[in-house]
């Protein structure tokens, strides 16, 4: 697998998450994203709040819970790779998440919102101030 293929897998995974778990992007922390860790990988972070196995009172990683919930091949959708360096998938997901967030920020700016990098606030076109969470703030 090369980086282009990893990018394609991550893109398929993002489309699936958009459909099945629309709030997924807001649950991601690219600074801690680690595709080798079942709690810090994409599914690990997206399904972190659901990682307690209610049937047996054992804790499962969000990765395992997510695979069960989505009922798909984790390899096909870029959540894991049994045949390649996971760092390629990590790079692909980080780039995809960052690009998606940048698009949201650009869309906000296009409709008249003013964004502050330092104070984590947005000023609406009507002059209202809104706090934004640090995980979507511009770096």
> What pairs with residue 59 in β-bridges?
52
pLDDT confidence tier of residue 46, bands split at 50, 70 and 90: very high
What's the domain range around 68? 3-100
Domain contains 119: no
> What pLDDT score was predicted for residue 102?
73
Domain contains 122: no
Domain contains 106: no
Domain contains 107: no
Domain contains 93: yes
Domain contains 136: no
> What pLDDT score was predicted for residue 38?
87
Work out the number of other CB atoms within 10 angstroms of the CB of residue 137: 17
Give me the sign of the Cα torsion angle 56, 61, 66, 71.
negative
Q: What is the pTM of this model?
A: 0.69
Domain contains 74: yes
pLDDT confidence tier of residue 127, bands split at 50, 70 and 90: low
- Cα–Cα distance list, 62 to 46, 49, 57 (Å): 7, 8, 15
Domain contains 124: no
Give how many domains the chain has, as a whole number.
1
Average pLDDT, integer, range 127-132: 62
């Amino acid at each position: 697998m090369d980086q282009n293929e990893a990018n394609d897998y991550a893109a398929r995974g993002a489309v699936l998450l958009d459909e099945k778990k629309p709030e997924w992007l807001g649950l991601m922390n690219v600074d801690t994203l680690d595709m080798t860790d079942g709690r810090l990988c994409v599914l690990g972070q997206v399904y972190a709040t659901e990682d307690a196995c209610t049937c047996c009172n054992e804790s499962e990683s969000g990765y395992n819970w997510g695979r069960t919930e989505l009922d798909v091949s984790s390899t096909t959708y870029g959540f894991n790779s049994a045949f390649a360096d996971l760092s390629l998938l990590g790079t692909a997901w980080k780039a995809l998440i960052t690009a998606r967030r940048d698009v949201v920020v650009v869309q906000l700016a296009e409709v008249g919102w003013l964004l502050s990098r330092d104070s984590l606030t947005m000023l609406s076109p009507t002059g209202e101030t809104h706090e934004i969470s640090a995980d979507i703030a511009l770096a």
